[in-house]
Structure 1
């Protein structure tokens, strides 16, 4: 998707791109990178002389972003990563940052998953497998940070571009056909390396089960963040610790004997989704579940929850990759209770309403 060009080895290509007929915008990242590297190196016992143009030239790369019609001059991968993660220091220690930057992160489903990918990249993850068969539609723009200029574009492409614009030295493998259980390549690199953690955010119930069974066989931990109104439900399944741990914590029973058509049959899908999510959700979320497949094509989602879920899932993934002792189970992030207090939370006040009246009023909208 991009070209990373060496100032000497690729001098002819750089010169070609800089010709007027290409019409490329040119951004010199050294305009700000130089002073920032000098500031960072002021604490080093062996600082480089960033005022020496020869040092700058030897440490430079030129990045061609064709979709932006832009050529950017940046520090090379090592020095750029130092800049990118400089303000992470002590919040994420050096070993954790190195581990996170080298880990292969799998993200299946790029609605909430798009937010997960962006936060993972922002915190220094550099290697991704991302999958989603869908394209960006207008209804996605209530929660997915996209643009009307990108309508109809593959979500995988948009996520790849976003990651590469954050860090062009990232390695992002896209699966625009989405995850398929017969492919066998999504949870492994071309060299056979397993993803370090899987963030699963797909809508298809059969695929949600299939990818868990494959992850369990490969002993890959799974993280799933689910919207709950403005809140987040986080599920962690540590298949790396327990190869017999049941998918979805066993909430939906043994699904392995069910066919794909049975799992995605509307009535079964609603029943199983209710069993997996559970009853401890906001009334509006609970009602929306009953309408999926009837008056709604899929579960309604809000931008607040999608972005909070992205941050929560990305944090859980980073902590596990870094060796934190996170247990399998369900975790809740109830933002309304944090903001309004337990006694006055939205969830509490809604539960105090006559729920049948609430359902009737929603049905009339």
Structure 2
């Protein structure tokens, strides 16, 4: 308790901003009797590591000591509870949410808040109450969890050197934009207070056995696609990484952790331009006693033999997606990284999958394709000649892991078919949130949509011709006809009976023969005569990856994105009548 009090007092002191949290001897003090009989939730990077954040949840047993009660006075506090239809016995108070400077901007405050609120929900709270500062927008932060200010309670408090307001949260009303996260924390609360790690959800278990992963990931194997991550502060990982370095299997070591730490500090505090000794001091604070080589993760890519040092997952992603801010804010980034996306067909779909990973749209992926890379694929699929004959799923997974080694990726190198369709879409707790469909097989195109519609999963498809983007919001329209009704009542089960001509007609119906480009329309009659297949260009495929990612981001964030078929036709858009610099060009000539 003394360590927690010192921690929160130091953070609340805030380099002298709140002098009352430091005594004459220079010690940080925050002694409150309310601490006893309360729940305390502490966040660390690993069990023996330094505390990064903390929050307190007080129960009705100590209701007479609540800070909100002291702020309002006993009479007014009881009037407030009566007005809210709550009793002392079902009112909980959360307070003292503090996060270390080096862990801010990572979403830790939101998770601590969600844990405390979820615990209160689990314990039977009808009402939650608390005091909140207003100077740095703390009250607005809590408002995103469904806390509302109580009229007439805002006033300046000398101890906090800012105005403070009373907030209330009605558990029956959910938790605002964090309702889903709070519900998950509510359900997992019993596991947070048990030592039975075997009972914990898979997401919180220890990482896989690293020596076992190394044994199965031999450099040079053509099918290696999953990297091995080491956390050197763990004894087993340290030993396994040492063995790897001594094995001769590492071709190159890349360690830029100091530069990454400097970037982290700059992203977290853009208003400062630290350099020289001050930057070194800030880096030391971020390391918190750890040696630079032991900070974060080392990632071994067995297919290239490279060992790469990167920041811990949350910090790595904060820095990597920092330039997304202004268009995708950090809460939205975290929401997107919580999504699981399925991609079927990895020629055109490779561009979509890699762009999704680059933009941070999706943190978990399932990739399906039965094919291997051939030389004729290399006019549009970003790969090297050394990848010829390699499964497209493997190529794509490698590319995505080299962008973000913390991704969760599963591959289906046999493609998508009736026997694995249910597994690909996933069970209730691991279901994909969105399907990107880019395959050439009519059966799979229709069967995948039938499954997506039955499960309420939206489907996005790009046809890499005239910038055509197809969106089917089965999550909003469960009875929507497949492919906007262009295939009538045809079902996947009917396809084996189709003739070759009927299959060709079906494909033309799917893409709308009247709207395809003249070049593609002319090519259909030449396939098998002067053309080996229909034409596809890298520029069209790259555009398709951008269109799919933009649509996926909008859907997953709940932004307006309706079902339909849309064209971003560059041949039409890059035309003289659309030239916005025509007047300037005329003046120059």
Identify the TM-score tier after normalising by the shorter chain: 0.7 to 0.9
1:14 pairs with 2:251: no
1:211 pairs with 2:448: yes
Residue in 1 aligned with 2:275? none
Q: Is the 8 A contact 2:250 2:307 kept in 1?
A: no
Shift of 1:8: 2.2
How many aligned positions are there? Answer: 339
Residue in 1 aligned with 2:505? 271
Shift of 1:258: 5.5
1:173 pairs with 2:410: yes
Which whole-Å CA distance do the structure 1 matches of 2:256 and 2:474 have between them?
43
Over residues 197-232 of structure 1, what are the superposed CA-to-partner deviations in whole Å (9 max), with x where a residue is unaligned?
A: 10000100011000000000001000010021xx31
Which whole-Å CA distance do the structure 2 matches of 1:291 and 1:250 have between them?
28
Shift of 1:260: 2.9
Bigger radius of gyration: 2
Residue in 2 aligned with 1:159? 396
3-state SS, counterpart of residue 107 of structure 1: strand
44 and 103 in structure 1: CA distance in 2 versus 1, 3 angstrom threshold: farther
TM norm structure 1: 0.87
Shift of 1:14: 1.4
Matches within 5 A, 1:1-365: 1-9=226-234, 10-19=237-246, 21-43=248-270, 49-51=282-284, 54-55=289-290, 56=292, 59-124=295-360, 125-183=362-420, 184-188=422-426, 192-228=429-465, 231-256=466-491, 259-263=494-498, 265-278=499-512, 279-292=514-527, 296-341=531-576
TM norm structure 2: 0.55
Which whole-Å CA distance do the structure 1 matches of 2:474 and 2:545 have between them?
21
Which whole-Å CA distance do the structure 1 matches of 2:483 and 2:373 have between them?
28
Over residues 108-133 of structure 1, what are the superposed CA-to-partner deviations in whole Å (9 max), with x where a residue is unaligned?
A: 00011000001100011321011000
14 and 198 in structure 1: CA distance in 2 versus 1, 3 angstrom threshold: same
Over residues 326-363 of structure 1, what are the superposed CA-to-partner deviations in whole Å (9 max), with x where a residue is unaligned?
A: 1111000111112124699xxxxxxxxxxxxxxxxxxx
Which whole-Å CA distance do the structure 2 matches of 1:313 and 1:25 have between them?
35
Which whole-Å CA distance do the structure 2 matches of 1:294 and 1:220 have between them?
40
Q: Is the 8 A contact 2:446 2:492 kept in 1?
A: no
Q: Is the 8 A contact 1:266 1:293 kept in 2?
A: no
**Greater CA drift, 191-200 or 309-318:** 191-200
Over residues 219-252 of structure 1, what are the superposed CA-to-partner deviations in whole Å (9 max), with x where a residue is unaligned?
A: 1000010021xx3111111111111111111112
Which whole-Å CA distance do the structure 1 matches of 2:307 and 2:271 have between them?
31
Shift of 1:156: 0.1
Which whole-Å CA distance do the structure 1 matches of 2:494 and 2:521 have between them?
26
Which whole-Å CA distance do the structure 2 matches of 1:132 and 1:296 have between them?
24
**Greater CA drift, 30-39 or 162-171:** 30-39
Q: Is the 8 A contact 2:351 2:545 kept in 1?
A: yes
Shift of 1:43: 4.2
Shift of 1:292: 4.1
Which whole-Å CA distance do the structure 2 matches of 1:317 and 1:121 have between them?
12
Shift of 1:325: 2.0
Question: Where does the alignment leave 5 or more consecutive residues of structure 1 unmatched?
Answer: 345-365
Over residues 61-107 of structure 1, what are the superposed CA-to-partner deviations in whole Å (9 max), with x where a residue is unaligned?
A: 11110001011111111110111111111210223211111100110
3-state SS, counterpart of residue 240 of structure 2: helix
Which whole-Å CA distance do the structure 1 matches of 2:535 and 2:492 have between them?
29
Q: CA RMSD in A?
A: 2.2
257 and 167 in structure 1: CA distance in 2 versus 1, 3 angstrom threshold: closer
